[in-house]
């Protein structure tokens, strides 16, 4: 059975939601405490949303020094699928596993609302089950969600097909309307919207399923 690890830092708060979403898709999920130094027997790793280490200094700046991050880097280097959602995305950029950075929203307020995303690339482990150009309604929930990078990085993101998702209407001032990016290999991906919050029409949208289903079963697909 596919087994996904959900990394928990002190201050994480979406870990139970990530666990519930993965389980709903029929895979097994277990927490990985941030002081762990190795990741074994997992087919994929999720860094969930929240406020790791209180987001002190700036989001992700302290979490990158948690012992588990070295294990996450090694797991990624070996091709293991890694997904950072919201705060997890911020941690991955701070850890240098994804390019760019997340800064405060354009309006300088926290925003929690549904957004419409457009699938830009299906090369990443998150978007491989979706179709290019597909529109997905998935909520955002962040204060520091404006993706930013220098022009050269933006050019290389586009050339290497690393932009996984864009907002249809930019909610936060992200460069190029970017909602999610992957590394060059496509096995590490981060996004600010919360696909785990869009798993059921009872809660407003089930559009997150196509993304998480692709991610959870990516290892099997890759084999």
Partner 1 sequence: MSSAPEPLHRALGLTDSELDEIRSVLRRDPNPLELALYGVMWSEHCSYKSSRIHLKRLPTEAPHVLVGPGENAGVIDAGDGIAVAIRIESHNHPSAIEPYQGAATGVGGILRDVFTMGARPLALMDPLFFGELTDARQRWLVEGVVSGISGYGNSVGVPTIGGELTFDECYSSNPLVNVLCAGALPTDRLVLGIASGVGNLAVLLGSSTGRDGIGGVSVLASAGFSGEDGAESLDDAKRPSVQVGDPYEEKRLIEACLELLDRGLVVGIQDLGGAGLVCATSETAARGGVGMDVDITAVPLREEGMQPFEIMTSESQERMLAIITPEHWPTVAQLCAKWEVRASVVGHVVEPSVDAEGEPFGMLRIRRGFDGEILAEVPASSLADEAPLYDRPRRRPESLDAVHADDPTNDEPEGSPNEDLLDLLIDPAWVYRQYDSQLFLNTVVGPGRDAALLRLAGPGLPISERGIALSTDSNPRWCALDPRVGTALTVAESVANLACVGATAKAVVNCLNFGNPEHPEVMWQLSESIDGMTEACNGLGLPVIGGNVSLYNESGGNDIDPTPVVGLLGVVDSLIAPPPGWAWNEGDSLVLVGTRTAAGEVPFPLGGSRWATRRGRRGGNVPPFDATTLVPTIAFVTKEIAAICAGSRSDVTAVHDVGAGGLATALAEMAASTGIGVEVAQLTGHGELFAEFPGRFAMATSNVDAFIARAVVAGVPVVALGTVGGSSLKIGTAIDLKVGDIENRRRHALEDALTSTD
Nearer to partner 1, 68 or 98 (CB): 68
Task: Please return the burial class of 160, using the count of CB atoms within 10 Å of its CB with bins 0-12, 13-18 and 19+.
Answer: middle
Binding site for partner 1 (CB under 8 A): 10-11, 13-14, 16-17, 20-21, 33, 50-51, 53-56, 109-113, 139, 141, 143, 194, 196-197, 199-204
Distance CA 6, CA 9 (A): 10
CA–CA distance from 91 to each of 47, 83, 119, 205 (Å)? Answer: 8, 11, 23, 26
Distance CA 121, CA 165 (A): 7
Distance CA 8, CA 20 (A): 14
Distance CA 31, CA 45 (A): 10
Query: What would the DSSP string read from start to end of 24-65?
Result: HTT-EEEEEETT-----S-SEEEE-SB-GGGG-SSTTTTGGG
Distance CA 125, CA 2 (A): 15
Nearer to partner 1, 80 or 84 (CB): 84
Nearer to partner 1, 14 or 46 (CB): 14
**Active site amino acids:** 86, 194, 196
Smallest distance from partner 1 to CB 205, Å:
11
Smallest distance from partner 1 to CB 151, Å:
31
Smallest distance from partner 1 to CB 170, Å:
15
Nearer to partner 1, 98 or 216 (CB): 216
Token pair in block for residue 168:
């249809």
Distance CA 6, CA 171 (A): 27
Nearer to partner 1, 156 or 170 (CB): 170
Smallest distance from partner 1 to CB 22, Å:
12
Smallest distance from partner 1 to CB 29, Å:
13
Q: What angle do CA 98, 104, 105 make, to 5 degrees?
A: 105
């Amino acid at each position: 059975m596919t087994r996904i690890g959900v990394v928990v830092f002190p201050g994480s708060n979406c870990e139970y939601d990530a666990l519930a979403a993965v389980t709903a898709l029929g895979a097994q999920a277990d927490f990985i405490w941030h002081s762990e130094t190795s990741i074994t027997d997992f087919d994929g790793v999720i860094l969930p949303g929240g406020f790791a280490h209180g987001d002190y200094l700036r989001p992700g700046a302290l979490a990158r020094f948690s012992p588990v991050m070295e294990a996450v880097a090694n797991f990624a280097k070996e091709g293991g699928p890694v997904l950072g959602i919201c705060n997890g995305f911020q941690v991955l950029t701070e850890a240098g596993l994804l390019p760019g950075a997340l800064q405060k929203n354009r309006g300088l307020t926290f925003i929690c609302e549904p957004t419409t995303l457009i699938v830009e690339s299906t090369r990443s482990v998150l978007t491989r089950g979706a179709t290019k150009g597909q529109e997905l309604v998935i909520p955002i929930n962040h204060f520091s969600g404006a993706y930013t990078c220098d022009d050269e990085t933006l050019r290389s993101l586009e050339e290497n097909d690393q932009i996984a998702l864009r907002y249809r209407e930019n909610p936060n001032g992200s460069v190029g309307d970017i909602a999610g990016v992957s590394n060059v290999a496509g096995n590490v991906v981060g996004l600010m919207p919360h696909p785990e919050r869009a798993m059921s029409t009872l809660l407003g949208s089930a559009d997150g399923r196509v993304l998480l289903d692709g991610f959870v079963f990516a290892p099997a697909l890759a084999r």
